[in-house]
């Protein structure tokens, strides 16, 4: 028998399915976005695959809202739209892998199973040295009976039965052929489609931690299986910034350029809105302020785009295992009018922070011609950021 570790390693891709609504769980958000410890359910699988040395890339199948809430994709990953059924979602992902050779390997996984481990991935890839497909399975521990309405019938022999989990592993060419042949047919997983080609599917030991999140009570089970002991706490940060208006300079506010006779003076592009937001997030982290991380005395930040500062702050949140729940930005200016640009600013901030649009609030006000903003000498901004961080 060949040894996977010593064989030439083919490229490995992942298809991560996160397109379902999960209504049976009864959460306020799709179940793949429910918080499991300090991060969404979806992120557990995404991080596990990204950390595995054999995985070269993948396709996250999810709608736009889920994509935004999931955070940035790992290097080598792309996204695909979900289909009405699981089978169509996998087919859409295969289109995204059209540049990959048939001899590549692919792991198809349901994001509702957040407990994927490197050990299961290794077992599946090792099985593909001699097989075209492999699945993880667990024995059935309970007595099984046939049931009609509320009446228990004959006992079913469980000795030949197994519980099927994901990820499921395939030669990419084999999975492609299975989906082409399955047009017009349905199946609950990809291994069924492959077996219809007459291809044998190897079984490897699965793991209890691959428990599927279906109902609300499954969340408590997953907390135990994954050994999650941390609880989260809410933190709030406040940011405030001011810049002077000067002639003959572009005006950047909230990550976009706004046509105006004057721009803001500063060491960077002087985006007063993004500076206030950056300080608010750093404040919620207890991580200093924008001047600590990007000092004006450092020439490398001269003229720098301020979205880099905000992206840095968002990365610090992710590194702490936290998430950004909401940001609220108020622009204080007599001119120009911010209202016509408010929607674009919201979208840009949501894009930089990789959070859903509904978690971003942008408002504008004047000081009724009082003070330096009222005299049109400068523009100010204040921001509030609300984070969820794991307890130490």
pLDDT 10s digits, 49-81: 999 999 999 999 999 888 888 888 998 999 999
State yes or no: pLDDT of 134 exceeds 70. yes
* Domain encompassing residue 142: 4-225
Looking up tokens 């007599």, which residue turns up? Answer: 334
- What is the structure's pLDDT at 37? 77
What is the mean predicted confidence (pLDDT) over 367-381? 93
Distance (Å, rounded) from C-alpha 140 to C-alpha 161? 7
Q: Is residue 233 very low, low, confident or very high in pLDDT (cuts 50, 70, 90)?
A: confident
Q: With the C-alpha atoms ordered 203, 206, 211, 213, is the resulting torsion angle positive or negative?
A: negative
Q: What is the model's pLDDT at position 2?
A: 33
Q: What is the pLDDT of residue 221?
A: 86
Q: Would you say residue 392 has pLDDT above 60?
A: no
Asked if residue 180 has pLDDT above 90, the reply is yes
pLDDT in tens, 98-120: 999 999 999 999 999 999 999 99
Q: Which of 133-147, 166-180, 269-283 has the lowest mean pLDDT?
A: 133-147
Domain C-terminal end among 225, 242, 272:
225
Judgement on whether residues 360 and 304 belong to the same structural domain of the protein: yes
Tallying the residues shown for the chain, one arrives at 392
Collapse the DSSP code of 105 into the 3-class scheme (helix H, G, I; strand E, B; otherwise coil) and give the result: strand
Q: What is the DSSP letter of 353?
A: H
| pLDDT greater than 90 at residue 278 | yes
The pLDDT value recorded for residue 214 is: 86
Q: Does residue 22 have a pLDDT over 60?
A: no
pLDDT at 229: 66
* Residue pair 325/386 in contact by the 8 Å Cβ criterion: yes
Same-domain pairing of 384 and 286: yes
Same domain assignment for residues 349 and 382: yes
Instruction: Indicate the average pLDDT of the chain.
Output: 90
Are 26 and 102 within one domain?
yes
The pLDDT assigned to 7 comes to 40
Same domain, 371 and 276: yes
- Asked whether residue 237 carries a pLDDT value surpassing 50, the answer given is yes
pTM of the predicted structure, to 2 decimals: 0.60
**Residue 315 pLDDT grade (very low, low, confident, very high; cuts 50, 70, 90):** confident
- pLDDT higher than threshold 90 for residue 303: no
Same domain, 212 and 85: yes
Do residue 206 and residue 272 come from a single domain?
A: no
Claim to verify: residue 326 and residue 290 sit in the same structural domain: yes
Asked if 254 and 143 sit in the same domain, the reply is no
Would you say the C-alpha torsion 50, 53, 55, 56 has a positive or negative sign? positive
pLDDT of residue 59: 96
Angle (nearest 5°) at CA 47 between 218 and 51: 135
- Which among 225, 240, 263 is the end of a domain? 225
**Which of 203, 225, 247 is the last residue in one of the domains?**
225
More confident residue, 213 or 219: 213
Q: Residue 41: name the closest of 17, 57, 59 by CA.
A: 17
Residue 310 shares a structural domain with residue 333: yes
Q: Each residue of 321-344: pLDDT tens digit?
A: 788 999 999 999 999 999 999 999
What whole-number distance in Å separates Cα of residue 85 and Cα of residue 73?
A: 23
Do residues 260 and 379 both lie within one domain? yes
Q: Are residues 311 and 210 in the same domain?
A: no
Q: Give the chain's domain count.
A: 2
**Which of the pair, 319 or 330, is modelled with greater confidence?**
330
Q: Which two tokens stand for residue 39?
A: 């991060």
Q: Which of 279 and 302 is assigned the larger pLDDT? A: 279
What CATH number has the domain bearing residue 124? 3.90.550.10
Average pLDDT over residues 372-389: 94
CATH number, residue 372: 3.30.1330.50
């Amino acid at each position: 028998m060949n040894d996977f570790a010593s064989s030439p390693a083919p490229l490995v891709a992942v298809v991560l399915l996160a397109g379902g609504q999960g209504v049976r769980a009864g959460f306020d958000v799709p179940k793949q976005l429910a918080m499991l410890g300090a991060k969404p359910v979806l992120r557990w699988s995404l991080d596990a695959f990204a950390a595995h040395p054999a995985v070269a890339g993948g396709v996250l199948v999810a709608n736009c809202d889920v994509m935004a809430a999931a955070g940035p994709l790992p290097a080598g990953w792309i996204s695909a739209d979900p289909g009405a059924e699981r089978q169509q979602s996998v087919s859409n992902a295969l289109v995204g892998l059209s540049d990959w050779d048939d001899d590549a390997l692919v792991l198809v996984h349901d994001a509702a199973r957040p407990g994927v481990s490197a050990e299961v991935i290794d077992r599946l890839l090792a099985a593909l040295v001699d097989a075209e497909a492999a699945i993880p399975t667990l024995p059935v521990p309970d007595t099984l009976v046939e049931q009609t309405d509320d009446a228990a019938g004959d006992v079913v022999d469980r000795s030949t039965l197994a519980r099927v989990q994901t990820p499921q592993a395939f030669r990419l060419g084999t999975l492609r052929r299975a989906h082409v042949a399955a047009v017009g047919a349905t199946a609950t997983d990809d291994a069924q489609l492959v077996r219809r080609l007459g291809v044998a599917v190897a079984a490897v030991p699965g793991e209890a931690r691959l428990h599927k999140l279906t109902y609300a009570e499954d969340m408590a089970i997953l907390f135990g299986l994954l050994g999650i002991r941390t609880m989260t706490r809410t933190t709030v940060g406040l940011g405030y910034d001011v810049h002077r208006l000067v002639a003959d300079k572009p005006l950047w506010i909230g990550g976009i350029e706004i046509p105006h006779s004057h721009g803001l003076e500063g060491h960077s592009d002087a985006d007063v809105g993004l500076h206030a937001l950056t300080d608010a997030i750093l404040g919620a982290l207890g991580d200093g302020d924008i001047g600590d991380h990007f000092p004006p005395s450092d020439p490398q930040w001269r003229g720098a785009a301020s979205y880099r500062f905000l992206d840095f702050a968002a990365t610090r949140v992710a590194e702490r295992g936290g998430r950004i729940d909401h940001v609220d930005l108020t622009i204080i200016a007599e001119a120009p009018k911010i209202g016509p640009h408010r929607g674009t600013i919201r979208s840009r901030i949501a894009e930089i922070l990789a959070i859903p649009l509904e978690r971003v609030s942008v408002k504008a006000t004047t000081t009724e011609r009082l003070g330096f903003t009222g005299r049109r000498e400068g523009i100010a901004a204040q921001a509030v950021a609300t984070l969820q961080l794991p307890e130490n």
